Amino acid sequence: MSEDAPRLYLATPPLAEAHDFLPALENALSAGDVASLLIRLAGDDPRKNEDIVRALTPLAQEKGVAVLVEGSATVALRAKADGAHINGSGEELVDAVKRLSPKYIVGAGGFELRDDAMRAGELNVDYVLFEGEDLAGLIERVAWWAELFNTPCVARAGSLADIAPLAEAGADFVMLDDAVWRDKRGPAAAVAEALRLLEGTRA
């Protein structure tokens, strides 16, 4: 690992509208250094999804947070986000790389096989995301990727307790979602703790 601690990547719940989520997002981003925000969308209406992204993006970008949209390069471009996150390594990802790179960020995740992650890496994505319920298996995948490949690796932590093991395995970014939004102390307290845990993994 580099001397710099891994950075924090937040992901929203699947959103059907933005208004009710804005206070939680503002609270989370007030706690410290967040590298990126992934906006997940609950519906398939492009216009409605663009409205959601437009409502949330400025709040994050004003704090230096890169905003990505899950599943749609088109929505990301129209809503002036910083990039898109695509699941899988198929034609949708190929299309997103063609349309967005290198000006915008393209991330990839949702891999069933290691070969899928490798294929995404060969497309010159900006990062690959690994996630899963089995922490031991996830740590093993992150360590494998970090040892062999230069493309940055994001690991999704299911809980705050998972942060340090994933960071120590070699993740460049640690993604948090429900562990922040469902924390009884509030999103800011969860983000602050996450940042302390990440700083503690500095080599």
Asked if the structure places residue 13 within a domain, the reply is yes
Which residue range forms the structural domain that includes residue 146? 7-198
CB 152 within 8 Å of CB 109: no
User: pLDDT in tens for each of the 203 residues of the chain?
Assistant: 335 789 999 999 999 999 999 999 999 999 999 999 999 999 999 999 999 999 999 999 999 999 999 999 999 999 999 999 999 999 999 999 999 999 999 999 999 899 999 999 999 999 999 999 899 999 999 999 999 999 999 999 999 999 999 999 999 999 999 999 999 999 999 999 999 999 988 64
Q: How many separate domains does the chain show?
A: 1
Q: How many CB atoms lie within 10 A of CB 31?
A: 19
The verdict on residue 1 lying in a domain is no
| Residue 176 placed within a domain | yes
Q: Determine, yes or no, domain membership for 203.
A: no
In order of 95, 117, 128, 129, 132, the CA distances from 1 in angstroms are 32, 20, 17, 17, 22
Residue closest to 99 by CA, chosen among 114, 78, 117: 78
Residue among 52, 60, 147, 141 at smallest CA distance from 72: 52
**154-182: pLDDT as tens digits:** 999 999 999 999 999 999 999 999 999 99
CATH number of 136's domain: 3.20.20.70
In a domain, 94, yes or no: yes
